[in-house]
Amino acid sequence: MAAVLTAPERAVRRRRTLAVLGVVTLAVVAAFLTVDVTGSWDYALQQRGRRLAAMAVVAVAVAVSTVLFQTVTNNRILTPEIMGFDRLFVLIQTVGVFLLGASTVTTADPRLRFAVEVVVLIGFGAVLYRSLFGRTERDVYVLVLLGVVLGSTFTSLTLLVSRLIDPNEFLTLQDLLFASFGSVDRQLLALSAVVVVLVTAGVWRLLPRLDVVALGRDTAVGLGVEHRRVVNRALLAVAVLVAVATALVGPITFLGLLVANLARQLLGTHRHAWVLPGAALLALLALAGGQLVLEQVFGFNSSLSVVVTFVGGIVFIALLIREPRQ
Amino acid sequence: MIEIESVTKAYGGVRVLDDVSLTIPTGGITSLIGANGAGKSTLLSVAARLLPADSGRVRVDGMDVATTPGPVLARRLAVLRQENAMSVRLTVRELVAFGRFPHSGGRLTREDHRLVDEAMAWFELGPLADRHLDQLSGGQRQRAYVAMVMCQGTDHVLLDEPLNNLDMRHAVQMMRMLRGMADELGRTVVLVVHDVNVASCYSDRIVAMREGQLVAEGPTDELMTPELLRKVFDVEVEVHELAGRRIGVPWS
């Protein structure tokens, strides 16, 4: 059993951990920007900077949405993806290619595509969450069940439609479905960044109340938190963040689960004011570091999600083994 | 003072609370007794606005619990449910400090810290302050939860089976602490208790329920009678006077 630390000792350690995490992330980001530049530095920095910005936007969106979702569901294993967001994204792409043809989809105005994707995903999330939450305590199980069922439905539909697609077009489709930071449109990136910043800022005021919501509904109500209102706002934020991140770069599963739990483990607290920055830094670290490994070690012969999931999974399991009760 | 006015609550057609009206006066300990499923916990939950009533209303110091803003009510009334499994991992100090949330909104002042220390001292949690809840025994954990509720500093404290999981020694200790909260700090304590003898020895008033209805209420001595206990529990109970206390013995 770990030694018992007093509250001030814990606070010092927490601050130090976050600072170290910040420095490590900065170092990896710097490496990502500068390693192996051949030719024009201006061009390389501009290209990599844009990718980095996309990563930062996605990192914040994924980290914040996962932590909030776990708080309001009082669960540390669920992520918003359980609701089938990524699979709905895949379905949208597949149906788009099927109905309009690969060339139409890939050459369409990226802003239009983005808008359609975001609207469908947010609409789906908002309807699902709002119809499910706030009735009784048990709703989280219904939510999980419905998520699993809908997810499989989306997957089945996707399979069905993709059988009907021309094989050549199917290849194009596959490219659309991998999370990619390489080809992000600049205007969309700016728009997403603004949305993510606004939503995160809006959520910030809720944080002390979310700390209480994490104790469970009854305790939160007993402590005077208007539980339902806080939960609804948090879920709306989750729907928007997940939709924007998925529409911007494609589905990134597992990253949220990983960084949310790692942040809590490393910082030894559940206070959102600490966990959210920690999780966001970890997410950026994982994305930039993963991309670096992908380029330098595997020479692009793999995908970012594979690297992130593989390395992150190992770290996660190691932490689980080290601290049994968590 | 807690005023309950013809409160009714049904689950799927079954009335768990059937037109219950009751006034719990300020001060002292009031125990809710009754068989399993009599509606004690439901009544407590409705009074603490954890559950909405189907009809009727509850007022605490004149404020309707259904319409009073949460933070306002949380400074008048604190509640602890039976099950308190949490998905977060907290130290005792962190848990108890949450009791100050209605006052501080999460930003503890020096005064809040003092009250947290005081509540922990009251429940003899000082040495455990920096331990995690999952490292404590059931009894210690229960004390930590009650300390959080006490730390909320409300005039009314509602506790659902606070003796759950406590052995004899810790049960007695807990009841003495609650007694102290009522006598020394002037809090109004309302308990759901399943052991009539605990109710008899430690409470000032008893509220007896059966099948969602109020059977009787009044000072403890008046209610600790074989007739009433038979009516409430459907069991023959002898009541003996032992060292000035009324003790019910059901195994006759």
Taking only the tens place, the pLDDT of each residue in A215-229 is: 988 999 999 999 888
Q: Say which amino acid occupies B184.
A: E
Per-residue HEC secondary structure of chain B comes to CEEEEEEEEEECCEEEEEEEEEEECCCCEEEEEECCCCCHHHHHHHHCCCCCCCEEEEEECCEECCCCCHHHHHCCEEEECCCCCCCCCCEHHHHHHHCCHHHHCCCCCHHHHHHHHHHHHHCCCHHHCCCEHHHCCHHHHHHHHHHHHHHCCCCEEEEECCCCCCCHHHHHHHHHHHHHHHHCCCCEEEEECCCHHHHHHHCCEEEEEECCEEEEEEEHHHHCCHHHHHHHHCCCCEEEEECCEEEEECCC
Question: At residue A302, does pLDDT exceed 70?
Answer: no
Nearest CA in chain B to A215: B86
**Cβ contacts (< 8 Å) between A224 and chain B: which residues?**
69-75, 101-102
pLDDT at B238 over 60: yes
Residue A129 has pLDDT above 80, yes or no: no
Q: How far apart are CA B189 and CA B39, in angstroms?
A: 18
pLDDT 10s digits, A198-218: 999 999 999 999 999 999 889
B122 lies in some domain = yes
Taking CB atoms and an 8 Å limit, are B74 and A325 in contact across chains? no
Q: Are B229 and B248 in contact (CB under 8 A)?
A: yes
Number of domain units in chain B? 1
The answer to the question of residue B145 being in a domain is yes
* Chain A contact set for B67 (CB, 8 A): none
> Looking at residues B105-123, what average pLDDT do you find?
92
- Measured between beta carbons, which residues in chain A are less than 8 angstroms from residue B48? 221-222
* pLDDT at A159 exceeding the cut of 50: yes
Q: Which domain holds residue B98?
A: 84-153
Which residues are paired to B247 by β-bridges?
B240
Calpha distance A147→A133 (Å, rounded) = 13
CB pairs under 8 A between A and B: 85
Residue A10: list chain B partners with CB under 8 A.
Answer: 91, 130
Share of chain B above pLDDT 90, in %: 75
| Whether the predicted pLDDT of B234 surpasses 80 | yes
Percent of chain B with pLDDT over 70: 100
The predicted structure's pLDDT at residue A132:
63
- B132: in domain: yes
What b-and-e string marks burial along A81-98, b requiring 16 or more CB atoms within 10 Å of the CB?
bbbbbbbbbbbbbbbbbb
pLDDT for the residue B56: 94
- How many angstroms separate the CA of residue A238 from the nearest CA in chain B? 20
- Asked if residue B78 lies in contact with residue B154, where contact means CB atoms within 8 angstroms, the answer is yes
Residue B251 confidence (pLDDT): 73
Alpha-carbon A242 to chain mean position: 6
Residues of A in contact with B134 (CB under 8 A): 325
Pairing label, strands B14-24, B156-160: unpaired
Is B107 part of a structural domain of the chain? yes
State the best of A72, A212, A221 to mutate against chain B, taking most chain B CBs within 10 Å.
A221
| Mean per-residue pLDDT over chain B, rounded | 92
In the predicted structure, residue B74 carries a pLDDT above the cut 90: yes
Residues 6+ apart with CB under 8 A from A28: A285, A288, A289, A292
For residues B191 and B149, is the Cβ–Cβ distance under 8 A? no
The shortest C-alpha distance from B88 to chain A (Å) reads 7
- State the Cα–Cα distance between residues A56 and B57, nearest whole angstrom: 51
Question: How far is residue A313's CA from residue A320's CA, in Å, rounded to a whole number?
Answer: 10
* B102 lies in some domain: yes
User: Does residue B28 form part of some domain?
Assistant: no
Residue A288 has pLDDT above 60, yes or no: yes
The pLDDT-based confidence of A140 (bands split at 50, 70, 90) is low
Tell me which residue of A210, A261, A263, A265 sits closest to A71, measured CA to CA. Answer: A210
Q: Has the ipTM of the complex gone over 0.85? A: yes
Would you place residue B210 in the very low, low, confident or very high pLDDT band (cuts 50, 70, 90)?
Answer: very high
* Gap from A1 CA to chain B (nearest CA, Å): 9
Looking at residues A59-65, what average pLDDT do you find?
Answer: 95
In this predicted model, what pLDDT tens digit does every residue of B16-65 receive, in sequence order?
999 999 999 999 999 999 999 899 999 999 999 999 999 999 999 999 99
A15-174+183-322: CATH topology: ABC transporter involved in vitamin B12 uptake, BtuC (1.10.3470)
* Average of per-residue pLDDT across B98-121: 93
What global pTM score does this model have? 0.88
B99 part of contact set with chain A, CB < 8 Å? yes
* Domain ranges across chain A: 15-174+183-322
Question: Residue B95 domain-assigned?
Answer: yes
Q: Check whether B116 has a pLDDT greater than 90.
A: yes
pLDDT top residue among B83 and A151: A151
Note whether A74 contacts B: Cβ–Cβ < 8 A. Answer: yes
Q: How far apart are CA B155 and CA A273, in angstroms?
A: 31
Mean pLDDT score across all residues of chain A: 84
Q: Give the per-residue pLDDT at B106.
A: 85
| A2 has pLDDT over 70 | no
Give B109→chain A minimum CA distance, Å. 15
Highest mean pLDDT among A90-99, B59-68, B161-170: B59-68
Give A8's pLDDT tier (boundaries 50, 70, 90).
Answer: confident
Q: Which residue has the higher pLDDT, A301 or B139?
A: B139
Give me the pLDDT at residue B91, please. 92
